[in-house]
Structures are given as structure tokens and as C-alpha cells.
Amino acid sequence: MKILYVTSEAVPFCKTGGLADVAGSLPPALAEQGAEVAVVLPLYERVRDRFGSQLKFECYDYVDLAWRHNYCGLFSMEKDGVTWYFLDNEQYFNRGTLYGQADDGERFAFFSRAVVRMLDHFKFWPEVISCNDWQAALVPIYLKDDGVREERYRSIKTVFTIHNIEYQGRYNPYVLGELFGLDAGWVKDGTLLMDGDVNLLKGAVLCSDAVSTVSPTYANELKMPYFAHRMEGVMRQCSNKLSGVLNGIDMKLYDPRTDGRILKHFSPEDMTGKEDCKAELQRMVGLREEPHTPIVAMVSRLVSHKGLDLICEVLHDMMELPMQFVVLGTGDQRYEDFFGWAAQQYPGRMSVRMDYNEDLSMAIYAGADLFLMPSKSEPCGLSQMIAMRYGTVPIVRETGGLKDTVQPCESWRDAGNGFSFANYSSGDMLHVIREAVYLYKDYPDVFGRLRQRAMSCDFSWARSAREYLRIYATITGQTWPIHSDTRRAVEIPEEETAEEPAPIVEAAPAEEPAPVEEAAPAEEPAPVEEATPAEEPAPVEEPAPVEEPAPAEEAAPAEEPAPVEEAAPAEEPAPAAEEKPAKKTRKTASKTASKTAKTEKKTVKKTTAKKGTAGKKKSAE
């Protein structure tokens, strides 16, 4: 399968957040599973500076967008089995920062238009284009536009992945033609219109063949006003093509057995190295060297959705517990002020570093005992997985990927890998922090086993890559993957294979002719959710759609609770071409669903949705 992965950042080239980690790891993991993968990124100044000498110049061409006719250079680099392409236009990308500029809309419109324009110059014509976040949201839209005239564009299927729905790419509709080179019909029929704005993310969700997000719980949360930043109606309408695939982490990079960035190595079998790392951390950040006092840590951007208000409310109660507290991160002034002040109140017991510092963050993961993430919302979250890998037991609020990766400790039966609380309440948070601190102090053996379980979790990318491949296979109607025995033997540990009675091959059309074949020829958003059950990410206990016992029916207008845009003339934005096959898909979906129901036990839990918060008009971080 030929996959083009479109992203605005990727490790090691350029990074502002978790998207870069995902885009740096997932494509190589897809390639390891046998897919042909290319990634395309803008050629930012920092990429040119640091990697320029390793890049190969391929060619250049011109990209037409509205009245503009712009140069676009193409550079490439082979790495980890993947071709990394960089699109060059100095006017747009040769700048010190990635985002947050007045012309971001124009810059990423150029990027998306150039991706489609340059397809001829890539090493293959992709079967799937996998686009990430609003910066690449115009790609599926331009493909539809071009597909009107040219069949070869229609042959490409698209997946759009939402890493954080807060950032939607919203613009005044009058820029539609000028900036994005699109016809007014895109706004008139409602596809791009939302609350009076052009909304790129909405357009991508409607135009893509499948939509994914970064954890199963977040996929469900996106249908609720509390989490969806006004997109809940659209997400519910598209629930038949929405799925949540849990991110992984780079298990080789983050390995306490071998990591060169930490003071001493350790493993679940031999934790003595962690004691040294703890003493080292205490020295580094000015905490008292007390080996038996648990260190609670936070490594986080200091912004509101990380749940910092809860900490502000009960910090003094927390500090009455026999614990130390270390915080690393930068962010909003009010939190920086608060934490700076608080640290002065507890010298030797609380330490705050307003910084982003890779070395210190690794020292914290390795040296701390408990890792606090009380997020209001968290699409996936990577830090809790990294912390677990280094035996730092997470304390999280049950939201998004935090809920999917952390199962609360049940010490009476030695189960769970962390601590969690459900309500966004400082009292509830304090309660579990207290529970964790006393488990550490009073029952060190029980805590030790909990720590071992956390360290043994499998957060490898191979698992996520297989789920993405299943989505790609579903929308392209392919049988995928066909592994040689050797490949499977190397990549999938025995127990994992045993846990997965229905490998991807079995879900392929050859064995289930009806569903996929029906979906294949059209541009149909296939019922991805229904096609992925066999390989739910390991730690997830509740993968089932929270309020969606019958996803296919949710899409019916009658059940659509709150149309997103009453004002839009043709509220129902799904392009006409997609309407017809939808019925077929519903049949298919329910067929698949009933099959699925037999093989899979789903635990459905009600999640409490709080009142919606108004969407913020943000374009990027």
C-alpha cells in the first residue's frame, strides 16, 4: 500500500508538540509493516539549518493558488524506511517559528495546494493520503476539487487525523477565493462554513473518507459539546467514519535499560538504578535528598486544559502530605506566577522550573515516583506513557487517552497501572494523590508491583500502525497486510499474537466480501469504526462508543441533536457524491457490527458531559 503522510511537523526535523512525535514515529512503523510510505513537510528554516546538507534536491515546480503563482522546490531524504519530502518556498517557510504568524492561513493553504500539485513528482502516486490537523485540512478539499475533472485524484482515499480539535483553522469567509482559491459554493453548501467562519477542520472531516483521532475515548468525547469546541454535531454526523487509534511511544528511545540520557539504567527486574536517578533528581532541582519520600512530578505546558486550576485550588493540602513536588514547563503567566510563588513556600519540598528542557524532563521521568496529569481534556497524551515506561506511576483524570492508557490501581488484586479520578474536581484529585502517596509510604511492596505493571505496558507503535493500516485497507478496499511468517514472528511478540485471534488479514475483503467490496469503488467513507475491533489498543478497557450503540443510525438527520449551522443553506454539508453510497454503508456497518458484537465484548460506560464551552477562535499554537 502506498501512503503519503502529510504533516506540518515531525521529529527529528521540527517540533512544537505531540503531533511531531507521532509524525516522526508512525510513518516508520507503517513502513516496518510493509507499507510504502512517504511523508511531506514544509521546509522550515530550522530544517534547512540542521538537515540541509543531508537533503537531496529533487526538482521544482510552480503552484497556482488564487491569483498567486509560486515557486515550490522539492527536497527529499531517506530515513527509517520512509522517504521524507520537504516543500520549499522561502517566502512562506524560511522563518524562525512554525506557526503563530498573521499569514498562517495563506502559508498552509500553499502547503496543502503544493502537496496535491506535487503529487506527480513524488516517488509514487499514493493510494491513501493521511492528513493531520488543520494545517493539512485543505488537502482532502483540494483533492475533491481536482477530482471533479480528473479521475486520478478521485482514486486517492483520504484519512484526516485530529490531534486536538481546539485548533480548527478558522477564517473570515471572504478570504475563500482570495486565500484558498476555492469557489463560493464550498461555503454556500455549508461544507466549509461554521458559525459564520470558513472552518478548514470541518471541511476536512466532511471530505475525508475516514476520520481518526488519537485515542478511542477522545473519539467519543468529540461528539460531546464539552470537548468538541462546537464540532460535536459534525462529529456525530460523521461517527460512521470516525475512529480512535491510540498513539504509541518510541519504545527504543524511551527505554530505561538503555537510555543514555538518564544517570543509571534500570528495569522492572532491577530497580536499584531508579533510586540513584531519584537522588540525582533531588540534587538537580534542590529537593531534600529523602529516598523514602515520594516525588510527585509534572512535565507539562502550563495551560488551562492541563487541569492546573485543580492544583492551584488544593496545592497547600497536597503539600501537607509526606511528598515532594517538582514541576517543569512553561505557559500562561498566571500559572507561572502561581507555581513560582508556591515553590518559595515549600523550599526543599517543592521545585518549579519554568523551562522546556529535554535533559531535565528525562531526569524527572526517571527519578520521580508519581506523575500527575489532571487534564480537563487530553486527546492522547504521551507523557503518561513515557512516565510509566520509567516506573513513574501516573495519576490522571479519566479523559481522552489518559483514560485509555491508565487503569486505576486495585491493590487487593494486584491490578491496574496507575491512579485516576473521573470528575474535574480538586477534592477528587487530592483524594487519589493521598491514596497514591500512602500506598508508596505504607505498602512499598504493593507499590513496587504496581510500578512494575506500569513499566510492562506495551505502548509500541506497531500496534497503532496496524490499526491505521486497517483503516487504510478498509477505505481502499484492499486486503492488508499480507505478512510473511518471518515478518510477523519478528514484529509481534507471542503473547500479543495470542491476544489477537483475528489478525488484520482476517478482516480483509477476501474473507468478508460484502462489506469492503461495496465500499471500494465509490468515494465512500467506509465504516472504519466497525472494521477495527479486533485490534483495540491493549490497555483500553472501554473502546466502545460511549453513547452510540448504533453508530450508523446516529448519522440520520432525525437524530442529529443540534445542527451546527442553522444559517447555512444546505446544512448538510457532505458532498453529494457521498450521499448515495451512505445507505449501502449503513447496511454494511450493521452487518459488520453484528459480526463484531459476537466476537468482541464491549463495556459501555456513560460519561458525564458537562456544559459546552464556546469554541475559541484559534488558528494555531
> Does position 19 bind ligand GLC by CB under 6 A?
yes
- Quote the CA–CA distance of 185 and 322 in Å, as a whole number: 63
Cell 490537523, located at residue? 133
Q: Where are the alpha helices (DSSP H) in 5-158?
A: 18-32, 45-51, 90-93, 104-117, 138-147, 151-154
> Closest distance between ligand GLC and the C-beta of residue 396, in Å?
12
Residue from 105, 216, 244, 381 in contact with ligand GLC (CB under 6 A): 381
- Quote the CA–CA distance of 459 and 465 in Å, as a whole number: 11
- Quote the CA–CA distance of 405 and 106 in Å, as a whole number: 38
Of 247 and 619, which CB lies nearer to ligand GLC in the complex structure? 247
- Quote the CA–CA distance of 131 and 208 in Å, as a whole number: 9
Binding string to ligand GLC for residues 145 to 164, with x set by CB under 6 A, is what? ------------------xx
Sign for the pseudo-dihedral over CA of 508, 513, 519, 522: positive
State how beta strands 82-88 and 295-299 pair. Answer: unpaired
Of 305 and 441, which CB lies nearer to ligand GLC in the complex structure? 305
Window of 274-282, 344-352, 380-388, 498-506 that interacts with ligand GLC by CB under 6 A: 380-388
> Closest distance between ligand GLC and the C-beta of residue 468, in Å?
13
Binding string to ligand GLC for residues 274 to 313, with x set by CB under 6 A, is what? ----------------------------------------
> Could you tell me how many residues make up the chain?
621
Contacts of 258 (CB under 8 A, 6+ apart): 252, 265
Binding string to ligand GLC for residues 340 to 379, with x set by CB under 6 A, is what? --------------------------------------xx
> Closest distance between ligand GLC and the C-beta of residue 219, in Å?
12
The site for ligand GLC, by CB under 6 A, has a size of 13
Residue from 3, 22, 30, 396 in contact with ligand GLC (CB under 6 A): 22
**DSSP-assigned states of every residue in 504-532:** HHHHSTTTSHHHHHHHTTTT----HHHH-
**The C-alpha cell that represents 150 in the structure block:** 480528473
> Does position 8 bind ligand GLC by CB under 6 A?
no
Closest residue to ligand GLC in the complex (CB): 18
Instruction: Give me the amino acid identity at 616.
Output: K
How far apart are the two ends of the chain, measured CA to CA in Å? 33
State how beta strands 242-244 and 210-213 pair. Answer: parallel
> Does position 394 bind ligand GLC by CB under 6 A?
no
Of 200 and 620, which CB lies nearer to ligand GLC in the complex structure? 620
> Does position 222 bind ligand GLC by CB under 6 A?
no
Chain center to CA of 465: 13
> Closest distance between ligand GLC and the C-beta of residue 162, in Å?
9
**Is the separation of the CB atoms in 114 and 141 below 8 Å?**
no
Cell 483524594, located at residue? 431
Quick one: DSSP state of residue 474? Answer: H
Q: Site residues for ligand GLC, window 242-281 (CB under 6 A)?
A: 247
Of 33 and 164, which CB lies nearer to ligand GLC in the complex structure? 164
Of 163 and 229, which CB lies nearer to ligand GLC in the complex structure? 163
> Does position 214 bind ligand GLC by CB under 6 A?
yes
- Quote the CA–CA distance of 95 and 99 in Å, as a whole number: 9
For helices 308-320 and 426-442, the axis angle rounded to 10 degrees is 40
> Closest distance between ligand GLC and the C-beta of residue 459, in Å?
12
- Quote the CA–CA distance of 294 and 439 in Å, as a whole number: 10
> Closest distance between ligand GLC and the C-beta of residue 22, in Å?
5
Of 35 and 382, which CB lies nearer to ligand GLC in the complex structure? 382
> Closest distance between ligand GLC and the C-beta of residue 222, in Å?
13
Binding string to ligand GLC for residues 167 to 206, with x set by CB under 6 A, is what? ----------------------------------------
Tell which residue, 51, 187, 168, 180, has the closest CA to residue 116: 180
> Does position 382 bind ligand GLC by CB under 6 A?
yes
Of 225 and 248, which CB lies nearer to ligand GLC in the complex structure? 248
Of 26 and 109, which CB lies nearer to ligand GLC in the complex structure? 26
Please state, in angstroms and as integers, the Cα–Cα distance from residue 73 to each residue in 43, 86, 117, 276, 347, following that order.
9, 8, 12, 50, 55
Residue 90: how many CB atoms within 10 A of its CB?
A: 12
**The C-alpha cell that represents 505 in the structure block:** 488479514
Window of 13-21, 174-182, 224-232, 441-449 that interacts with ligand GLC by CB under 6 A: 13-21
Of 122 and 365, which CB lies nearer to ligand GLC in the complex structure? 365
Tell which residue, 407, 516, 535, has the closest CA to residue 465: 535
> Which helix (H) or strand (E) is 372 found in, with range?
strand 370-373
Of 402 and 473, which CB lies nearer to ligand GLC in the complex structure? 402
Of 35 and 246, which CB lies nearer to ligand GLC in the complex structure? 246
Our CA angle for 412, 416, 417, nearest 5°, is 130
Of 130 and 164, which CB lies nearer to ligand GLC in the complex structure? 164
Q: Site residues for ligand GLC, window 519-548 (CB under 6 A)?
A: none
Of 17 and 612, which CB lies nearer to ligand GLC in the complex structure? 17
> Does position 23 bind ligand GLC by CB under 6 A?
no
> Closest distance between ligand GLC and the C-beta of residue 247, in Å?
5
Residue from 128, 246, 363, 380 in contact with ligand GLC (CB under 6 A): 380
- Quote the CA–CA distance of 533 and 181 in Å, as a whole number: 40
**Is the separation of the CB atoms in 13 and 84 below 8 Å?**
yes
> Does position 18 bind ligand GLC by CB under 6 A?
yes
Instruction: List residues near ligand GLC by CB under 6 A.
Output: 17-19, 22, 163-164, 214, 247, 378-382
